[in-house]
Amino acid sequence: MQATRPERGSARSRRCFQVLPAIAFAALLLVPGCGGSGGSPAGTQAGQGPKVTVMARSVPGVGQVLVTSTGYTLYLFQPDGRQTVTCTGVCAGTWPPLMLPSGGVAVAGPGVKSSLLGSDPDPAGGRVVTYDGWPLYTYVGDIQPRQATGQGIDLNGGAWYVLRPSGAPLIPAP
Amino acid sequence: MTAPEPRGPRRVGRRAVLLGGGGLAASVAGAGTATRALTRPSAAAPDPSGVIPPDDDLMREHGVLKRVLLCYREMIGRVQAGGPLPAEDLHDAALIIHDYIEGFHEGLEEGYVFPRLRAAGLLTSTVTTLLVQHARGRVITQFLLARATPAGVASADARAQLAAAMQAFDRMYEPHEAREDTVVFPAFRQIVPAAELADLGQHFAELERQQFGTDEFTAMVARVAGIEQALGIYDLSQFTPQVSQYSPQA
C-alpha cells in the first residue's frame, strides 16, 4: 500500500497555473485539486497558514537526504542554479515542484535547517519551496517513500540530484 | 530490395531539426498531415481548428517510439549476429527517446493523463506500473547515450551489454505503449468531456510549440526515418513476407 502524498496536491495546483492561461475554466475541471495560490512570500511566521514540511531521512542508495513530510525524496534541478524555477510546462509533469500553498509556510522537520528554507516565484504561478536557494521538486518515478529513482538522471534539459541536509547536492564522482 | 522512394528521408542532424531547418522536414510535411487525418478516430467529429485530440496526439507519438524500438531491434540483431554496432545510429535513436519520448511525451502523460485517471480511481495499479516503467526506461536510455560512442561499442562485451539494454527497453515498451493505446488513453477519453479534450489538445500543441517549435512531430518522424535508412530498414516492402508456403495450394 502506498503512502498518501499530499504534495501531489501542490503539484496539481501548479498544473492549474500552467493550464489556466490556455484553457481557463476547463482546466479547473480537468485538474482535480485546483485552487488559488497567491504566491505567499517565504518567511511567513510559523503557526500561520498551511505548512509544508521538509525533513531529512535516510533513503536507500543515497543516504540522508531531504524528503517531504510523507517521505518522498526531494530533488534539485541543476539548471535552476540556486536562484530560479526553470522546470515548468511538461517538465513539471514529471518533476512536480514542492509548492508553497497560498499564505503557507515552509517548516523545517527533523534534520533540516530552517534558515535554509525559503521560496521562489514559479513562472507558472505561486511559489516553490527552496532549500539553500534550490527550488525543490519530487519525481513521479518515485512511486513510494524512500525511493530516489531520479537521482543523477539527465532529463528535461539538465541533471537532477538529491540534496543533503547541508544543502549540498549529491553529485556522483565522474 | 527496392530503390528508396524518390522523396524518402535523408539523415538530418538534431541541430538542424531543432532549428527548424532542413528541407527534409518540409518535404515530409505532407506525410505528416496525412498521418494526422488517418489517426483521428472515425467516431470523433472532425475538429475544424485542426487541433489533434490529446489521446490521438499521444498515440502518434507512440508511433515514433515504435519506430525507434524497431531500430533498436535491428541493432540488437546485428550484435547477436556478431556484427558491428553503429554508434551514431544508436546515439541518434536514444536521443529521440531522451528528448521527445522521455522529455516530452511522458511528461504529458505524467502531468495530464495519469493524474486524471488516478483522481477518478481508474487503472491506478496500471498507472503505477507505467510510472515505474518510465523511470526504468530513463535509466536505460541514459546508459545507452553514455556508451553510444565509437569507443563505447568497440568491444564485443560492450556491444553485448548495449544489446541487452536495448532488448530490455524493447521488451518493456512494446507492451507498455500497447496498453496505453488500448486501455489507458481510451479510459482517459471516456472520463474527460469532449470540450475539455479539445482544450487540452490545444494546450498540448502549445507545449509542443514551446519546446520544439513548429512541426515537431514531422521533424521527429524525419529524424527516425533517417536512422531507419542508415540501418537499411526504411523500405517498408522488405518486411512483406513470402506466403507461397502458407497458401491453400501449398
What is the rounded radius of gyration, in angstroms, for the C-alpha atoms of chain A?
Answer: 15
For residue range A64-113, list pLDDT tens digits in order: 999 999 999 999 999 999 989 999 999 999 999 999 999 999 999 999 99
Paired with A108 in beta bridges are A54
Chain A residue with CA closest to B133: the answer is: A141
Residues of B in contact with A22 (CB under 8 A): 199, 202-203, 206
* Contact (Cβ atoms closer than 8 angstroms) between residue B193 and residue B120: no
| CA terminus-to-terminus distance, chain B | 25
Residues of A in contact with B144 (CB under 8 A): none
In the predicted model, is pLDDT for residue B187 greater than 50? Answer: yes
Lowest mean pLDDT among B38-52, B194-208, B215-229, B231-245: B38-52
Look at residue A40 in the predicted model and tell me its pLDDT. Answer: 34
Look at residue B9 in the predicted model and tell me its pLDDT. Answer: 54
Residues of B in contact with A12 (CB under 8 A): 115
Which helix or strand (DSSP H or E) is residue A64 part of? strand A63-68
CA proximity to B220, closest of B62, B52, B49, B4: B62
A:B CB pairs within 8 Å: 91
CA dist A39 and A37 (Å) reads: 6
Kindly report the average pLDDT of chain B as a whole number: 85
Q: With CB atoms and an 8 Å threshold, state whether A93 touches B195.
A: no
In the predicted model, is pLDDT for residue A153 greater than 90? Answer: yes
Q: What is the dihedral of CA A39, A45, A50, A55, to 10 degrees?
A: 100
CA dist B61 and B59 (Å) reads: 5
Look at residue A47 in the predicted model and tell me its pLDDT. Answer: 56
Q: Which residue has the higher pLDDT, B124 or B248?
A: B124
Q: With CB atoms and an 8 Å threshold, state whether A90 touches B211.
A: yes
Q: With CB atoms and an 8 Å threshold, state whether A141 touches B138.
A: yes
Domain boundaries, chain A: 51-162
In the predicted model, is pLDDT for residue A32 greater than 70? Answer: no
3-state SS, residue B149: coil
Look at residue A79 in the predicted model and tell me its pLDDT. Answer: 98
CB burial class (10 A; 0-12, 13-18, 19+) of residue A137?
buried
Look at residue B214 in the predicted model and tell me its pLDDT. Answer: 84
pLDDT over 90, % of chain B: 75
CA angle B72–B73–B74, rounded 5-degree value? 90
Look at residue A33 in the predicted model and tell me its pLDDT. Answer: 31
**What is the pairing mode between strands A99-100 and A127-131?**
antiparallel
The ipTM (two decimal places) reads: 0.81
Confidence of residue B215 (pLDDT cuts 50, 70, 90): confident
| Backbone torsions φ then ψ of A116, nearest 5 degrees | -95, -5
pLDDT over 70, % of chain B: 80
CA angle A13–A15–A20, rounded 5-degree value? 100
Q: With CB atoms and an 8 Å threshold, state whether B104 touches A19.
A: no
Look at residue B183 in the predicted model and tell me its pLDDT. Answer: 98
CA distance A149 to chain B (A): 7
CA proximity to B65, closest of B165, B173, B217: B173
Residue showing cell 515530409: B28
* Contact (Cβ atoms closer than 8 angstroms) between residue B12 and residue B22: yes
Average pLDDT over residues B94-113: 98
Lowest mean pLDDT among B7-11, B88-92, B169-173, B229-233: B7-11
Residues of B in contact with A157 (CB under 8 A): 103
CA proximity to A30, closest of B77, B130, B200, B41: B200
Residues of A in contact with B204 (CB under 8 A): none
Q: With CB atoms and an 8 Å threshold, state whether A30 touches B210.
A: no
- Distant-in-sequence, close-in-space partners of B130: CB < 8 Å, separation ≥ 6: B109, B114, B176, B179, B180, B184
| Backbone torsions φ then ψ of A73, nearest 5 degrees | -65, 140
Q: With CB atoms and an 8 Å threshold, state whether B132 touches A139.
A: no
Residues of B in contact with A91 (CB under 8 A): 103, 107
Question: What does the DSSP 8-state code read for residue B2?
Answer: P
The 3-class SS string of A73-131 reads ECEEEHHHCCCCCCCCCHHHHHCCECEECCCCEEEECCCCCHHHEEEEECCCCCEEEEE
Given A29, A92, A143, which is nearest B128 (Cβ)?
A143
Look at residue B8 in the predicted model and tell me its pLDDT. Answer: 52
Chain B residue with CA closest to A151: the answer is: B139
Confidence of residue B244 (pLDDT cuts 50, 70, 90): very high
- Please enumerate residues of B whose Cβ is less than 8 A from a Cβ of A: 98, 102-104, 106-112, 114-116, 119, 128, 131-132, 134-135, 138-139, 142, 192-193, 195-196, 199-200, 202-203, 206-207, 210-211
Paired with A129 in beta bridges are A119
Look at residue A173 in the predicted model and tell me its pLDDT. Answer: 83
Lowest mean pLDDT among A38-52, B59-73, B87-101: A38-52
For residue range B54-80, list pLDDT tens digits in order: 999 999 999 999 999 999 999 999 999
Average pLDDT over residues B19-25: 33
Residues of B in contact with A97 (CB under 8 A): none
Lowest mean pLDDT among A17-21, B5-9, B44-48: A17-21
Instruction: Supply A13's cell numbers.
Output: 495546483
User: How many CB atoms are closer than 10 A to CB A82?
Assistant: 15
For residue range B141-186, list pLDDT tens digits in order: 999 999 999 999 999 999 999 999 999 999 999 999 999 999 999 9
Confidence of residue B139 (pLDDT cuts 50, 70, 90): very high
Given B111, B119, B199, which is nearest A93 (Cβ)?
B111
Look at residue B220 in the predicted model and tell me its pLDDT. Answer: 95
- Distant-in-sequence, close-in-space partners of B65: CB < 8 Å, separation ≥ 6: B97, B101, B105, B173, B177
Q: With CB atoms and an 8 Å threshold, state whether A156 touches B107.
A: yes
Kindly report the average pLDDT of chain A as a whole number: 80
C-alpha count within 13 angstroms, C-beta hemisphere, residue A16: 20
Paired with A73 in beta bridges are A67
Confidence of residue A11 (pLDDT cuts 50, 70, 90): very low
Predicted TM-score (pTM) above 0.90 = no
* Contact (Cβ atoms closer than 8 angstroms) between residue B24 and residue B10: yes
Residues of B in contact with A13 (CB under 8 A): none
Q: With CB atoms and an 8 Å threshold, state whether A93 touches B98.
A: no
Average pLDDT over residues A148-158: 98
Residues of A in contact with B104 (CB under 8 A): 90
Q: With CB atoms and an 8 Å threshold, state whether B131 touches A155.
A: no
Question: What does the DSSP 8-state code read for residue B237?
Answer: G
CA distance B108 to chain A (A): 6
Q: With CB atoms and an 8 Å threshold, state whether B196 touches A30.
A: yes
Q: Which residue has the higher pLDDT, A5 or B47?
A: B47
Q: Please give the C-alpha separations between residue B136 and each of A95, A146, B28, in angstroms, as whole numbers.
A: 15, 17, 33
